[in-house]
Amino acid sequence: MRLQRRLTAMLVSLAFAAPLLALPLLAQKEKPEPLNEKEVEQIREAGIYPIDRVSLYTKFLNEHADVIKGLTNRAKSPARSRRLDDELQNFTALMDELGSNLDVFSDRHADIRKALKPLNEAAPQWLGILRALAGEPGFDLARKEAIESGEDLTDQAKRLLTEQTEYFDLHKDERGQDRAEPK
């Protein structure tokens, strides 16, 4: 009888405690994805085509930069700060993803000069938007990280365009390739 009461008491306690234990899990913020499903699918479809892939990332980053610029002029509020923090984090994640893609395409000597030109024009504009955004406690860290990532991407894109121009001037037979083929 005593054992039965103890079991019943434990079950009742667990029934009441289980929802309380789940609250911290529900309260955890899911990390937002920088791209929506349609954009992710476009990146997948671009797959191994470096110029298409770099062009898509540049396009998506331009769109995110426009959103950030639009939020800059809004009245300060906690909602605006949260939205800017999310947008800046997404922007940084996209720039980092693009930088990783550039590393891969560079290593395999993919001729991406055509896509690097628009990227080299857009990246300084993105930095201008980020630097014009006055820091606030709600998103200052995300802003600083975005600026740092933007500076890295700008340097990488400039350097890569110079390297590729020199490489393909020497290796004219490899111009326009998606990857270096073994000879």
What separation in angstroms does the CA of 172 have from each of 3, 110, 167? 85, 13, 8
> Domain for residue 8, yes or no?
no
pTM over 0.85: no
pLDDT at 31 over 80: no
Averaged pLDDT, 153-166? 96
Give residue-wise pLDDT tens across range 106-117. 888 889 999 999
- Is residue 183 situated within a structural domain? no
Residue 100 lies inside a defined structural domain of this protein: yes
Task: Print the domain residue range for 54.
Answer: 37-174
* Ordered alpha helix ranges (H), 47-175: 50-72, 78-107, 113-132, 140-170
Q: Which of 113-122, 128-137, 169-178 has the highest mean pLDDT?
A: 113-122
Domain annotation covers residue 59: yes
pLDDT confidence of residue 26: 41
Of 84, 94, 75, 92, the closest CA to residue 139 belongs to 84
In a domain, residue 25? The reply is no
The DSSP code for 11 is H
Q: Does residue 65 belong to any structural domain of this protein?
A: yes
Domain count, the chain: 1
